[in-house]
Amino acid sequence: MPSGGLHELIDAHYEALYRYAYRLSGSAADAEDLTQETFGKALARLPQLREPDRARAWLFRILRNLYLHKVRDQKRHKVVPLDAVGDLAGRDATPEMPDIDPAKLQQALNELDEAFRTPIILFYFEEFSYRDIAEQMDLPIGTVMSRLARAKAYLRSRLAPGPDPDGGGPLPDTAPGPKKVTDGVP
């Protein structure tokens, strides 16, 4: 792709990248920084992009690496046993799901470890295939599917109306303090 293609890349992908960054970081300021840094890196590495059709996956990967670098520096990970996440949804799931408050969704996402958060964001938000997500995260496709299933169950337990799987009743308006949900994957 010629170097003049950066402007086309920005136009085509900046909104999706910003939303992805926002859902990853949970902060508008961080999302803006991450988006800018992503295009900065992309400019420096533009000659490496041999398949323009893969530009979106390439940019998302750059952004995720930048994010991981940031959170690694900030040492924000807290490990909570994966048992906190329900593996399977209960039979009492509401057939018709009302609209989900985006802010509550973000709260729930913030509670997920990045290892779960990234696949679920990519799965819903940008509709990456399982294979794409596996490539993004350098994971076997089976691991991606397993994490997706667990993350989805967790979000459903947090966001769907009905009894709290932990016995806490419906999701309160003010969510409890964030607890990271992880299977110990760094």
Partner 1 sequence: MECRDAQFYLRLRRHAADELGPDVTGTLDSHLATCAACAADARAALSFDRALTAAMRSVPVPSGLREKLFTQAAAKQGAVLRGKLYRAGGLVAAGLLVLGIGFGVFSNSRPKVDSQVLIDIASNQSEQAVSRFLVANKLPDHLPMPFDYDLLMHFDMGEYQGQKVPVIVFRSPNGDNGFAKVYIFKSDSRFDLRGLQDAQGSQARAQVLVGQGAYRGATYVFVHTGRDLQPFLRTRNGGGNPA
Give me the residues that bind partner 1 (CB under 8 A), please.
3, 6-7, 10-11, 14-15, 18-19, 22-23, 28, 31-32, 35-36, 39-40, 43-44, 88-89, 91, 93-102, 105, 121, 123-125, 127, 129-131, 145, 148-149, 152-153, 155-156, 159-160
Provide, rounded to whole angstroms, the least separation between the CB of residue 94 and partner 1. 6
Provide, rounded to whole angstroms, the least separation between the CB of residue 165 and partner 1. 14
Provide, rounded to whole angstroms, the least separation between the CB of residue 16 and partner 1. 9
Measured from the CB atom, the residue of 79 and 130 that comes closer to partner 1 is 130
Measured from the CB atom, the residue of 37 and 180 that comes closer to partner 1 is 37
Token output for 153: 């169950």
CA-based nearest residue to 109, from 170, 25, 173: 25
Provide, rounded to whole angstroms, the least separation between the CB of residue 91 and partner 1. 6
Measured from the CB atom, the residue of 79 and 145 that comes closer to partner 1 is 145
CA-based nearest residue to 59, from 130, 122, 117: 122
Which residues share a beta bridge with 181?
112
Residue that is written with structure tokens 């992908």 in the block: 13
Measured from the CB atom, the residue of 119 and 182 that comes closer to partner 1 is 119
Residue 112: strand, helix, or coil: strand
**Three-state helix/strand/coil letters over 66-101:** HHHHHHHHHCCCCCCCHHHCCCCCCCCCCCCCCCCC
**DSSP-assigned states of every residue in 15-76:** HHHHHHHHHHHS-HHHHHHHHHHHHHHHHHHGGG---GGGHHHHHHHHHHHHHHHHHHHHT-
Measured from the CB atom, the residue of 115 and 120 that comes closer to partner 1 is 120
Provide, rounded to whole angstroms, the least separation between the CB of residue 30 and partner 1. 13
Length reported for the chain:
186
Provide, rounded to whole angstroms, the least separation between the CB of residue 35 and partner 1. 7
Measured from the CB atom, the residue of 16 and 79 that comes closer to partner 1 is 16
